[in-house]
A and B are shown apart, each in its own frame.
Chain A
């Protein structure tokens, strides 16, 4: 076996200080197996060593939160003895190296996090960020990532119901692939990952262990360079069929009382699953690695412990339940093996072929991994943009046409038609609306789901950007009529060893925390992905937010489409015409300057609760929140979804017209209401102190502005629908 020293430790990504700490903990030099264990457990990916100190500032509690961060996924009460279990996770580095398998195993991994808790997954969402379309790799990455997400999710039979896709040059060398899984469980059948019961058997189930993915967690904890692509072999290969069997087998066994604790083998495989279970339970574990089902011959203990082979679970069973478990897993053609037992030693003792190959204390490896308070440097204040001075080279309808055809705003139909969004026969609103809506099977309740972040806002002002990401998620759930419950976060940033990046992270957390508190919208699970940099160039900071809301009555909900002529269009919220950081500025004026639109959390909440109340009372069926591109883009999206046009009034006097049509002021919605509803809505607005004004009427087959020409829906549709298929086909 290789002799371990500081140089070998450095090759494992451990710093000199960390290696010294390992020597202190063990009181001796570790062997290679032990060093491998420390290296993955203390990797950024597994230990959150740079982010932990900041993450604790996020609010995580509310009366409806059953289980917050720290478990495999967050758990929130949805009434009637049911809970929703959800989490979002990144698989950025593997997806850049091997897009199909990277994205596919990202989907598989987050699904396991949810069903390991006893929940049946009911919906998937994803948030993708690619480099500029002109970059030579972008097309290939889109094709691979989308096929990989579809290939895995479709086979599993879990509908992929929503997501978002952005393009920016900062992602040229580091794409982001964030996948969110949402499941539903009975509240009294939630499973946790704390090992318990001295002497209880530790059981391995699922796919056999191979050499794939060794050091994946370490790879995800370093910057990219030219050589990274040589790491292709460290990307795991997914088998969704095996995972489907694992899902059904686990849920079948969970119906009995056989399982004491269960944890999926994700990053750092058997190492992290065994250490985390023992750490949470305050126990020890001993494992005989020769009993691990293996796919390849001659695997060493080091390889067995670090393999990231997919579709595997580790369980602690009740004593005597092994036969019952084995019968279930054999029915589903899965390998199952008792590989060890729970002990009271507080140590992980690994043997192989009759010899002890590792013996380390659990707590210092898992719970007490290093925590770094890395130096922080705030982002410089953004260059101010005064709306009145922003040039308006195009008439509003011409600017609209240009915006609808920009990659960030075009229809993503080419992507989501590759995802099965209707399997399960509970999808009430799939991709293309404000939030996806999925019925809770067999009930009149539904879950509203949305993933959001505006990276350009976060880059310009990390705190406001973090706040905005949470507020926009909340707004999207409100816009379909849901009560927002909680969020999962997926924090994608650059190299935390650079103070500017760490400053972005810390400020984004502060902004998120402020919005979460103001909107009663706690964080219940999350994931951090750092080192998204290539050759020193970092991505736009992207704290992706995945939100879950509840509709108590699925008949009381809203969509962005209206169904008749003659409805009044109402704008909810204040319009200041904020153009800093807007898509208008970027796409029409070619400037990325300015501060992001400020989020006024009080107004956000007041306007949102007002809208939600209208939907809940059955007074409102058509609603769209305003986001990227501003008012005119939102109106065009509604018209296209409805296939009915609209006539809009000219901007009110005193407001800059470009800012009126394209400003990205927050906390706003557009509603479409009939004559009866109109009065009720305006009365309610007055009572609630919410600004609502009529801005036009529905009807016709074009979109027109008073005093200007109109543009046909057919033209707008061609612009919106045409770009992505043409772009993808151009590469074939």
Chain B
């Protein structure tokens, strides 16, 4: 499995994401700069967390319009797997690759803690390495993680089984306790929690590695 991790100005989880992919695949991911207009030949593109362009305007809004995102959209349209974490999820919604939006947390404060997630779609390319009914313990760290969408979109996400992860104890006010969603084709995942920070027992858990191992299995 070949992976590219994109760095936008203000990305700050790009290294962590690259480390997680390297551990799962045994290969160092290619690093791609936001101003590049082409992706290298890869199977998976990772959009990391952080504060791209300072998250001025709206979170992810400016990054969604950077040159590399046109290439990422083409890649996704051809069925390429795209994983957007935290700010990466916000960028995916701003770019229209995933529906809905991430708005300010319910209590208007940044929230950083370990949370539990229900894997609600255990068959996806991003979750298949997990066990059915498995609960994952991973960190969150965001100010704008409150997932919102119109009723029709939420109904469609639920009906099509595109809610990948749900919070057990909703930390930010997200509709339907949504922590992560899949694209209609199932090849794009956006989630607010940080699986790349939970790949090592010494750091408090390895549950996050399910996401990376699943991709390896799916692409084997």
Identify the stretch in B10-18, B70-78, B182-190 within 8 Å (CB) of chain A at 4 or more residues: B10-18
| Interface assignment of A567: CB less than 8 Å from any CB of chain B | no
Q: What A residues does B196 contact at CB under 8 A?
A: 425
Q: What A residues does B113 contact at CB under 8 A?
A: 417
Q: What A residues does B20 contact at CB under 8 A?
A: 425
Q: What A residues does B141 contact at CB under 8 A?
A: 154, 420-423
Measured as residues with beta carbon below 8 angstroms from the partner, the interface class of chain A is 20 to 34
| Interface assignment of B151: CB less than 8 Å from any CB of chain A | no
A239 to B110, CA, bound (A): 17
Q: Which of B161-204 contact A (CB under 8 A)?
A: 194, 196-197, 199-200, 202-203
| Interface assignment of A333: CB less than 8 Å from any CB of chain B | yes
Shortest A139–chain B CB gap in Å is 14
A420 to B199, CA, bound (A): 17
Q: What A residues does B9 contact at CB under 8 A?
A: 241, 244-245, 332-333
Across the interface, name the chain B residue whose C-beta is closest to A332.
B9
A155-B10, A157-B50, A333-B9 are contacts. A425–B109 as well, Cβ < 8 Å?
Answer: no
Measured as residues with beta carbon below 8 angstroms from the partner, the interface class of chain B is 20 to 34
Identify the stretch in B38-46, B51-59, B121-129, B211-219 within 8 Å (CB) of chain A at 4 or more residues: B51-59
| Interface assignment of A203: CB less than 8 Å from any CB of chain B | no
Q: What B residues does A420 contact at CB under 8 A?
A: 110, 112, 141
- Is there an interface contact between B16 and A555, defined as CB atoms closer than 8 Å? no
- Is there an interface contact between B16 and A417, defined as CB atoms closer than 8 Å? no
Shortest A420–chain B CB gap in Å is 4
Taking a contact as CB atoms closer than 8 A, the residue among B54, B56, B110, B197 that contacts A425 in the complex is B197
- Is there an interface contact between B203 and A427, defined as CB atoms closer than 8 Å? yes
Q: What B residues does A157 contact at CB under 8 A?
A: 12-13, 50-51
- Is there an interface contact between B51 and A422, defined as CB atoms closer than 8 Å? no
A635 to B93, CA, bound (A): 48
| Interface assignment of A156: CB less than 8 Å from any CB of chain B | yes
Shortest A252–chain B CB gap in Å is 12
Q: Which of B79-125 contact A (CB under 8 A)?
A: 109-113
A171 to B75, CA, bound (A): 57
- Is there an interface contact between A425 and B19, defined as CB atoms closer than 8 Å? yes
A147 to B53, CA, bound (A): 20
- Is there an interface contact between A244 and B51, defined as CB atoms closer than 8 Å? yes
| Interface assignment of B139: CB less than 8 Å from any CB of chain A | yes
| Interface assignment of A424: CB less than 8 Å from any CB of chain B | yes
A241-B51, A423-B197, A425-B200 are contacts. A150–B16 as well, Cβ < 8 Å?
Answer: no
Q: List 20 A-B contacts (CB under 8 A).
A: A147-B109, A155-B10, A155-B12, A156-B12, A239-B54, A241-B56, A242-B54, A244-B51, A333-B9, A419-B112, A420-B110, A422-B112, A422-B141, A423-B12, A423-B16, A423-B197, A424-B16, A425-B203, A427-B203, A428-B202
- Residues on A facing B (Cβ under 8 Å): 147, 150-151, 154-157, 239-242, 244-245, 332-333, 416-428, 439, 554-555
For the complex of A and B, the 10 pairs showing the least CB-CB separation, nearest first, are: A157-B12, A241-B54, A420-B141, A425-B16, A422-B139, A155-B51, A418-B110, A425-B197, A422-B197, A420-B112
